Amino acid sequence: MSFPHRHLLGIEQLSQNDIVTLLDLADRYADLNRQPDKHADALVGLTQINMFFENSTRTQASFEIAGKRLGADVMNMAMQASSIKKGETLIDTAMTLNAMHPDLLVVRHPQSGAVDLLAQKVNCAVLNAGDGRHEHPTQALLDALTIRRAKGRLHRLSIAICGDIAHSRVARSNILLLGKMENRIRLIGPPTLMPSGIADFGVEVFDDMEEGLREVDVVMMLRLQNERMDGGFIPSQREYYHRYGLDAKKLKHAAEDAIVMHPGPMNRGVEIDGTLADDINRSVIQDQVEMGVAVRMAAMELLARNLRQADIQEAS
């Protein structure tokens, strides 16, 4: 079981094999996480630092629990409150932390490429927990695991991603991952929320939601950021909900056993109907959160193995 990467910066760098390796391991952790005794020892002795330059509750908590279940010493740093405000550059902050010899660095940053930049400057393994509009690899992996468990496979599915594609790192990572696994991807949303050059992505684009949802196996909703609702990108919240909000009526166009996903946090009544989100027969939103911990445990374990391997090689 090899995972030939020093960092997890994005889905772009992963092969089909890497993805399957990671999901297989995560599957086992998903089972472990349902046991009363959830402890494993893959990260014992290692130090994990969560550096979040952008607000996050669920992703940070998920990484923290994942690290703790595997025995790592976990530290959280809320970076908005720290030296960044005092004018320290990202690289200086990274170098300072690097001097404390962490083994795993989990980073979220509001700017695309910032995590790549940081990874070039430190000795430890870096996990991208979301950088700007670029990538959010663990989210795509947990979505993939959720789909695989619900559908029994992760290929030749028809998957719709709906909403604000342009500003979404979740969408980018999912498009890359689901494409690599050979699924059919449909993007649904108003043209103002589609990224430029979308025609070259190997996806189908729809601005009519009912048409886009026709016979899909998976419906992935995206969060619409509040700051985009002011008339700049869409006319109003209610028009958006009318045209692109997922409700039972629109979902009827999808396959009968289609599952509904959302990366959270949800805006009920903006992009998704509240009752539908809670419908345990259709919605796998809670499973996504659960799989998040398992996928992050797997990702950190695979990177930690490589760290220890590198140590052995250096010593010999």
Q: Are 128 and 9 in contact (CB under 8 A)?
A: yes
Q: Which residue has the tokens 């086992």?
A: 28
* Residue 191 touches other proteins, criterion: CB under 8 A: no
d(C-alpha 224, C-alpha 265), whole Å: 10
Please select the residue that binds other proteins; options are 113, 153, 211, 215, rule is CB under 8 A.
Answer: 113
Of 55-63, 109-117, 205-213, 281-289: span binding other proteins (CB under 8 A): 109-117
Which residues partner with 108 through β-bridges?
A: 52
- Among the listed residues 218, 277, 206, 213, the one whose alpha carbon sits nearest the alpha carbon of residue 250: 213
Please select the residue that binds other proteins; options are 69, 172, 223, 282, rule is CB under 8 A.
Answer: 172
d(C-alpha 291, C-alpha 12), whole Å: 21
Nearer to other proteins (CB atom), residue 204 or residue 215 = 204
Q: Is 136 annotated as catalytic?
A: yes
Q: Is 242 annotated as catalytic?
A: no
Question: Which of the residues 7, 69, 108, 133 is marked catalytic?
Answer: 108
Maximum CA extent, the chain: 65
Nearer to other proteins (CB atom), residue 12 or residue 257 = 12
Q: Which residues contact 210 (CB under 8 A, 6 or more apart)?
A: 250, 253
Q: How far is the CB of 112 from other proteins (least distance, A)?
A: 4
Which residues partner with 253 through β-bridges?
A: none
* Residue 134 touches other proteins, criterion: CB under 8 A: yes
d(C-alpha 73, C-alpha 71), whole Å: 7
Total H helices, total E strands in the chain:
11, 9
Please select the residue that binds other proteins; options are 1, 4, 12, 15, rule is CB under 8 A.
Answer: 12
* Residue 103 touches other proteins, criterion: CB under 8 A: no
Which sign does the torsion angle of CA 285, 35, 152, 199 carry? positive
* Residue 131 touches other proteins, criterion: CB under 8 A: yes
Residue 19 structure tokens? 């993805």
Q: How far is the CB of 135 from other proteins (least distance, A)?
A: 7
Q: How far is the CB of 128 from other proteins (least distance, A)?
A: 11
* Residue 198 touches other proteins, criterion: CB under 8 A: yes
Question: Which of the residues 59, 93, 138, 146 is marked catalytic?
Answer: 59
* Residue 98 touches other proteins, criterion: CB under 8 A: no
Burial (CB count within 10 angstroms: exposed 0-12, middle 13-18, buried 19+), residue 116: middle
* Residue 306 touches other proteins, criterion: CB under 8 A: no
Please select the residue that binds other proteins; options are 47, 112, 237, 306, rule is CB under 8 A.
Answer: 112
Q: What residues are labeled active site?
A: 58-59, 86, 108, 136
Binding site for other proteins (CB under 8 A): 12, 89-91, 109, 111-114, 116-117, 131-135, 166, 169, 172, 195-198, 200-201
